[in-house]
Amino acid sequence: MDLGLDEQQEMLKNFARDFLEKECPEQLVREMEEDEKGYSPELWKKMAQQGWMGLIIPDKYDGTGMNVCELVVLLEEFGRALVPGPFISTVVLGGVPIMEAGTEEQKQQFLPKIASGELIMTMALTEPSAKWTADGVQLEAKKDGSDYVLNGTKLFVQDAHVSDYMVVAARTGGSGEDGITLFLVDSKSPGIKFEVLKTIAADKQCEVTFDNVKVPASNMLDAEGKGWPIIEKTKDVATVAACAYLVGLSQMDFDVTLNYAKERVQFGRPIGSFQAIQHKLADAVIDVDGSRFITYKAAWSLQEGEPDAGMMISMAKAWTSDASRRVVAHGQQIHGGIGFTKEYKIQLYFRRQKWMELMWGDADYHRELVAQKLEV
Amino acid sequence: MDFRFSAEEEAFRQEIRDWLKHNLPENWTGDRFTRSDENMNVYRQFAQRLSTKKWVAPHWPVEYGGLGLSVIEQLIFNEEMSYANAPIGYSTIGVGWAGPTIIVYGTDQQKKEHLGAITNAETMWCQGFSEPNAGSDLANLATRAVKDGDDYVINGQKIWTSGAHYADWMILIARTDQEAPKHKGISYFLVDMKTPGISTRPLIDMMNNHGFNEVFFENARVPKDCLLGEENRGWYMATTTLDFERSSIGGAVGAQKMLEELVDYTRDTPVNGHRLSDEINVKVRLADAAVEAELGRLLSYRVAAMQARGLVPNYESSIAKLFNTDMQLRMAKAGMEIMGLYGQLEPKSKWVALKGRFERQYLWQTGLAVGGGTTEIQKNIIAQRGLGMPRG
């Protein structure tokens, strides 16, 4: 039993940290909040050159052939640097369904381009009902000759407006988990409209409307009506990815806050010398460390195909969602007035925490899953 | 013990409600979060309407432009204004801080010059207290006011000065005796914001508002009759609990409103064949919020009830403020959780629900927990002044 990183993971982490410190400074993060696309094509290209987009794509498709644990190590660094843009959308939401269920032809068509950074993707799952469960999928797909015609609205779709392709969850029949079909949809198809929502984290979630959008049947992933298990597998990876990002984000928020508590002097002493502040910091480090190890466990369980992987993933997201919020709340409080300003960095972590807390199920949602798995 | 208000008090409450029905600004969105020229105009105009009823500072003595309301009547007035989300921000410092301090410590000249202007909504005030190195440790302030002939010359810097970019006057505490122990060398001044040598720099907050400022004093010369009260007594003047309504009822009522909006929202939001309010997680959160809102109101009422009996609330005010601030933070969090993915949407986003109030509140509350006395300082006051705990 060894809970540390292996040599390869350690190298990946250190390299990513240095790289992102240089290539994704605070200035860029702030610029991307206002930017229409929400990511920097220059940074995107540089990340692709490191092999990061292909991190979990097999060698065969020009990927790096690593696994979920390495992805978690990398994404913790992304969270630490608040990397903006469609990385998780492309690599996880686009890549995983194709790897899971794509035909050889589809894999050849899409995976190398994801790995090279040429393709940006996302998954369009949630709708205005804002549910992560199968009954939330109501967007219609009707067979029409050799095509399917899609009608409906998707909401809270990450980075849809800059995507080249979307994996769209549509209902071809049935109800609940039966009858959901996944389609690889060209984002430039006639009938698709995007509108970027304004969110607390200034990330780019979109409304995507489908008005008689034609999709060739050959763009179906796996078989008609069999989409839900693919979505579940994608959700697993995406949930772990969100946890990893939160770990990095909350660790950095904590580091900045710890430093501030040591340096800020009031009443003739650093405020970190006051017991009230020390207790908050102690609470925060428990939250951060706990988040990291439960995320590692979830990633490892998923990677190894452990029977309780689903439980671990939900535990990780339930804990990390709440824990990260507590950490960033302490970060704001300990900073006092300066924490409330736009200029000072700590609010960047506070606002972004909410985004990943909600993505792929919030704490309530995952606690319910944990309870179900406990057979309560 | 009686939790009811008298018939006269209830009649007064109704009078306020009726007046508000006809006098809240048309198209007022209830948005108390946005700081803009447009909003400031709304506040100013509303204050002018209030002044026609002598309702800018109704609890002040009649001779100073008020109605001499009792403490309970003050409580009711504040409660109703908060409940209606009335845009009363114009006079906050003037009515809550500057005016009462002038009433207690001011010369006849100072009273004449300022009090009427406050109650007529002619002048707006800001508060020059905090500095970059004097936040919780306010007595550490370094802005100097040096006597020079018939004037004081002021040099230094203030921070977190809300509304300084609009204000006509400032209540300023500055150091007049460099040698004396910290608390004993501070004086209180009434400063004209048009004085040469005073400049403001905007501080944008994390909600993208220009609400507060840094204010710089560079050899700003003010006449000596700007000194309020005695020289070097400023600290005690600024920090003594003034004998006016200190119940934090605004916070309690704000929470009540949030709760009601949340209940309506959950009841009216269909989710796959049932209502959001049918979900157990939602029910539990709403129940908790309801209990806390009631508690917040009671802790505020307790302060007013003490004052009505002629008692001076001390740490009890800190309890009311602290509980209501923290409680609103918890309620904002609960609201965000209930709204799920929708909770993250800003007011101007497509698909926003409840005008994005909870997203705004979630951000805003982090400021309230540190402004006007941090949660930690409030707890120290409660423990030390209230419970007699020894200082560390």
Residue with tokens 């928020």: A253
Which residue of B135, B281, B370 is in closest CB contact with A364?
B281
B interface test, pick of A197, A257, A281 with most B CB neighbours within 10 Å: A197
User: Residue B318 is part of which domain span?
Assistant: 249-386
Note the pLDDT tens digit of each residue in B319-362: 999 999 999 999 999 999 999 999 999 999 999 999 898 999 99
Domain with CATH 2.40.110.10 in chain A: 122-226
Q: What was the pLDDT predicted at B249? A: 86
- CB hemisphere CA count around B148 (13 angstroms): 11
The reply to whether residue B204 touches residue A337, judged by beta carbons under 8 angstroms, is: no
Q: What is each CA distance from B12 to B7, B15, B69, B80, in whole angstroms?
A: 9, 5, 11, 10
**A122-226: what fold?**
Butyryl-CoA Dehydrogenase, subunit A; domain 2 (2.40.110)
The reply to whether residue A341 touches residue B159, judged by beta carbons under 8 angstroms, is: no
Size of interface A-B (CB pairs under 8 A): 114
Is it the case that residue B242 has pLDDT exceeding 60? no
- CB hemisphere CA count around A50 (13 angstroms): 18
Residues B262 and B375 occupy one common structural domain: yes
Q: State the Cα–Cα distance between residues A71 and A60, nearest whole angstrom.
A: 18
- Sign, CA dihedral B49-B55-B61-B62, equals positive
Flag residues of chain A having pLDDT under 70: 376
B268–chain A Cβ distance below 8 A for any pair: no
Residues B361 and B341 occupy one common structural domain: yes
Domain CATH number, residue B366: 1.20.140.10
CATH number of A7-118: 1.10.540.10
Q: What is the CA radius of gyration of chain B?
A: 22
Domain with CATH 1.20.140.10 in chain A: 229-373
Q: What was the pLDDT predicted at A251? A: 98
Residues B103 and B158 occupy one common structural domain: no
Per the annotation, the verdict on B113 as an active-site residue is no
The reply to whether residue A364 touches residue B342, judged by beta carbons under 8 angstroms, is: no
The reply to whether residue B206 touches residue A358, judged by beta carbons under 8 angstroms, is: no
List the one residue out of A243, A248, A200 whose CA is nearest residue A33.
Answer: A200
| Other beta carbons less than 10 A from residue B112's beta carbon | 12
Residues B170 and B142 occupy one common structural domain: yes
What residues in A contact B345, CB-CB < 8 Å? 197-200
B40–chain A Cβ distance below 8 A for any pair: no
pTM of the model: 0.94
Query: In sequence order, which residues have a C-beta less than 8 Å from that of residue B329 and are 6 or more positions away?
Result: B365, B366, B368, B369
Q: B101 is written with which tokens?
A: 């301090």
List the one residue out of A194, A237, A192 whose CA is nearest residue A215.
Answer: A192
The reply to whether residue B136 touches residue A267, judged by beta carbons under 8 angstroms, is: yes
Is it the case that residue B296 has pLDDT exceeding 60? yes
Taking the CA of residue A368 and the nearest CA in chain B, the distance in Å comes to 10
Q: What was the pLDDT predicted at B271? A: 79
Q: State the Cα–Cα distance between residues B140 and B154, nearest whole angstrom.
A: 16
Burial (CB < 10 A; 0-12, 13-18, 19+), residue B331, is: buried
Assigned domain for B293 exists? yes
* ipTM surpasses 0.90: yes
End position of a domain, from candidates B93, B119, B145: B119
Note the pLDDT tens digit of each residue in B156-178: 999 999 999 999 999 999 999 99
The reply to whether residue A333 touches residue B136, judged by beta carbons under 8 angstroms, is: no
Is it the case that residue B243 has pLDDT exceeding 80? no
Find the mean pLDDT for residues B117-146: 96
Q: What was the pLDDT predicted at B244? A: 63
Q: What is each CA distance from A252 to A79, A240, A296, A347, in whole angstroms?
A: 8, 19, 18, 12
Domain CATH number, residue B28: 1.10.540.10
Residue type, A77: E
Number of domains in chain B: 3
The reply to whether residue A332 touches residue B366, judged by beta carbons under 8 angstroms, is: yes
Residue A3, φ and ψ in degrees, nearest 5: -95, 5
Helix, strand, coil share of chain A (percent; to 5) = 55, 15, 25
First to last CA, chain A: 30
Note the pLDDT tens digit of each residue in B40-70: 999 999 999 999 999 999 999 999 999 999 9
For B340, the closest chain A residue by CA position comes to: A358
Where residue B34 falls among pLDDT bands split at 50, 70, 90?
confident
Q: Which residues pair with A152 in a beta bridge?
A: A210
What percent of chain B is modeled with pLDDT above 90?
A: 79
Which residue of A129, A195, A325 is in closest CB contact with B350?
A195
Where residue B245 falls among pLDDT bands split at 50, 70, 90?
low
Q: State the Cα–Cα distance between residues B118 and B78, nearest whole angstrom.
A: 17
- Active site residue: B73, B245, B292, B359, which one? B245
Q: What was the pLDDT predicted at B32? A: 74
What residues in B contact A199, CB-CB < 8 Å? 344-346, 349
The reply to whether residue A347 touches residue B349, judged by beta carbons under 8 angstroms, is: no
End position of a domain, from candidates B231, B259, B275: B231
Q: Regarding beta strands B198-204 and B270-271, do their DSSP bridges make them parallel or antiparallel, or are they unpaired?
A: unpaired
Q: Out of A324-338, B189-203, B209-223, B242-256, pick the least confident.
A: B242-256
Q: What was the pLDDT predicted at B36? A: 83
Residues B41 and B88 occupy one common structural domain: yes
Residues B163 and B221 occupy one common structural domain: yes
Q: Which residues pair with A142 in a beta bridge?
A: A149
Residues B372 and B274 occupy one common structural domain: yes
Q: What was the pLDDT predicted at B175? A: 98
For B282, the closest chain A residue by CA position comes to: A364
Helix, strand, coil share of chain B (percent; to 5) = 50, 15, 30
Find the mean pLDDT for residues B262-290: 90
Domain CATH number, residue B222: 2.40.110.10
List the one residue out of B324, B371, B201, B138 whose CA is nearest residue A339.
Answer: B371
Q: State the Cα–Cα distance between residues A225 and A221, nearest whole angstrom.
A: 10
SS3 B370: coil
Q: Give kind and range of the element (H or E) at residue B151.
A: strand B151-158
CATH number of A229-373: 1.20.140.10
The reply to whether residue B374 touches residue A364, judged by beta carbons under 8 angstroms, is: no
**A334, A280 contact by CB (below 8 A):** yes
Q: What was the pLDDT predicted at A6? A: 95
Which residue of B137, B281, B362 is in closest CB contact with A266?
B137
Where residue B89 falls among pLDDT bands split at 50, 70, 90?
confident
Q: What is the CA radius of gyration of chain A?
A: 21
A interface test, pick of B130, B370, B391 with most A CB neighbours within 10 Å: B370
Where residue B385 falls among pLDDT bands split at 50, 70, 90?
confident
Find the mean pLDDT for residues B104-132: 96
Assigned domain for B221 exists? yes
Angle between helices A275-304 and A68-81 (to 10 degrees): 150
For B133, the closest chain A residue by CA position comes to: A266
Residues B154 and B208 occupy one common structural domain: yes
Q: State the Cα–Cα distance between residues A316 and A236, nearest whole angstrom.
A: 11
